[in-house]
Amino acid sequence: MKKVLFATTALIATAGMAAAEVKISGYGRFGLDWNEANDVAGNLDNTSATNITSRFRLTFDASTETDGGVTVGGRIRAQAESRDGVAGTAVWSAPQFHVAYGGLRVNVGNIWGAIDSAPGLYLNTTSVGTGIDGMGFNSLAIGNGFNWDTFTSAGAGRNGIEAIYSAGGFTGHISYSQQNGTVPAENQNGEERTAIMLSYSFGDYFVTGAYQDSNVTANDELGFFAVGGDFGQFGATLSYGTTDASDSVTLAGDVELGAASTIVAWVNSADQNTAAGRDGTAFGINYEYDLGGGVTFVAGAVSSHADSDENSIQAGLHFSF
């Protein structure tokens, strides 16, 4: 009788949601991280160079469709992580809302950002960087500390609007945001960012370009360009980034070893334009083995740019669901 009542209640509760779709997805990752940067003045008694790095993320997507075929939906995330021996508490992201029809999608709120969506910006790995947690993302050709719009999983992030249009192999993406509550030194109205990204893929190859305009000098005139492709079991991407602080070039290559193993190697060369810019050469290697069931063994090593001269190694497991 209880089962019948429960089933009846569930049916009534969902009767008005026949056209709605709710999806929960996410991933977990955990492993060991040895980071030379944590060796503070050679004193390992105060700060350990070896720590656990971990993250657990839940993503909630909900959408429905109007009688005219327009999709309306939203996304929100919950996430908790630990890095460098410091455990974090669980936090919620700000929401993202979207309206989509055909090849056009408009996002409002915690937007993805045109720069962050550019193909070739990140590596083709589980962390989109090196190792379990990206290991500093020295592989990025743009080295200004993620000062472009991106969906922020932990906290409020930036509030903006963006439009993405895709047709065939073409994708166009434009985004705009204004950060109220912050006062850049050169502008009293908060930072405004406008960015555009254009990408075209043909077969196994792609080319992309992106540009950001900002009223904050350090984040203004940010440019990115990349070309890449797959050649059977091999792949390669060449990317170039320019900011007020530095210009840099990244060459990344990957190779599939058998049915389950993949190696990604990269090198980044940066020329410093300001005291805050990256300078010198960094390189890294990432190894992944697919264990099945959405579980992947990940190991990586990075040597940072010459101005910091720091090395790090990670190994652990990543699982998605």
Residues in Cβ contact with 27 at an 8 Å cutoff, skipping those fewer than 6 apart: 55, 56, 57, 126, 318, 319, 320, 321
Using the predicted structure, report yes or no on whether residue 308 has a pLDDT greater than 80: no
State pTM to two decimals.
0.88
Give the residue-averaged pLDDT of 35-42: 69
Average pLDDT value for the chain: 88
- How confident is the model over 242-259, as a mean pLDDT? 95
Q: CA 144 to CA 177: how far, in whole Å?
A: 18
Q: Does domain 32-320 have CATH number 2.40.160.10?
A: yes
CA atoms within 13 A on the CB side of 79: 21
What confidence tier does 276 reach under pLDDT thresholds 50, 70, 90?
Answer: confident
169 vs 189, higher pLDDT: 169
pLDDT, tens digit, 9 for 90 and up, residues 79-117: 999 987 777 788 999 999 999 999 999 999 999 999 999
